[in-house]
Amino acid sequence: RLSSFEATLLSVPTRLIVYIMSFWSLQDIIALEAASVVLHNIIEYYKSRVWNPDIFFRPWFIDNPRQFREILRDCGAVVSGSQITQFLDRSRYPGSDMDVFLRVGGLPQMGRWLQGQGYNYTSHSRTYQSFRQSVLRMSNKVITERSSGDYPVKGVFNYHRFVASPTTIFIQKIQLVTVDLNPIHHILFDFHSTAVMNFMTFNAVTSIFPLSTFILHKSYVVKNRSESAAQSSRWKAKYRDRGFRLV
């Protein structure tokens, strides 16, 4: 026999179920999923809507969210940073960029695909204006230099596009962060704190510290590389504003 709680959930439209559960904590969702078969099925539906990469990426790639994941696979790339923290935490950071981490070999294909999706490449170099010129320069740099354990980021390629909503026009920004090691290793060993150690590959999403990040909203500062006081203050203030306690 159904409980009154189960009967109520089954009687409302599915979109309302998603809305109601958006106010539940992750602990509540985990506990209720194990309470009964009915609740398990309801929460499985909720998970399929809220933690669905294709739905999450749709605002960025309206026609091709699934193809984006295929490009991640082909380029050996991962998405990390604030977008994946938002995805797992069911939160939104307005105006935040998407950070894609990859090695130089995946740059040409990823860049061409983004341009095909309406994104424009923005060069900050007076010498290397085009994407092709910048990639060739980056390739030569990676070939001729030794791998730097000190700072594995070799370059950042910026893309943007303007998107119109009913009330305003806003900019979507994607950064292709080129590293000279496995992108996942860069996330594990070079990110500034544990709250951002989350990443999405073409077929999986991983959080290294899910309890402290998404239950306790606590972030442990782990970056031991040199950075200016201003740089440190900026990212710490940003994550405090997003509700994290830094330890």
Residues 98, 83: one domain?
yes
pLDDT tens digits, 148-175: 556 788 889 999 999 888 888 889 999 9
Residues 113, 82: one domain?
yes
In this structure, what DSSP letter does residue 244 have? Answer: P
Residues 40, 59: one domain?
no
Q: Give the pLDDT band (50/70/90) at residue 124.
A: low
- 19-33, 35-49, 224-238: the lowest-pLDDT one: 224-238
Query: Phi/psi of residue 183, each to 5°?
Result: -55, -35
Residues 41, 64: one domain?
no
Contact 225, 235 (CB under 8 A): no
Residues 84, 145: one domain?
yes
Kindly state the tokens that stand for 140: 């030569």
Residues 135, 163: one domain?
yes
Residues 209, 233: one domain?
yes
How many other CB atoms sit within 10 Å of the CB of residue 242? 17
pLDDT for 148 equals 56
Q: pTM surpassing 0.75?
A: yes
Q: Which of 30, 50, 70 is the last residue of a domain?
A: 50
Q: Which of 31, 50, 69 is the last residue of a domain?
A: 50
Which of helix, strand or coil describes residue 149?
coil
Residues 185, 211: one domain?
yes
Residue with tokens 């994607």: 174
Domain that holds residue 16: 4-50
Residues 225, 120: one domain?
yes
Residues 65, 44: one domain?
no
Residues 102, 115: one domain?
yes
Query: Phi/psi of residue 32, each to 5°?
Result: -70, -30
Q: How many domains does the chain have?
A: 2
Residues 40, 99: one domain?
no
pLDDT for 199 equals 98
CA distance 83 to 32: 27
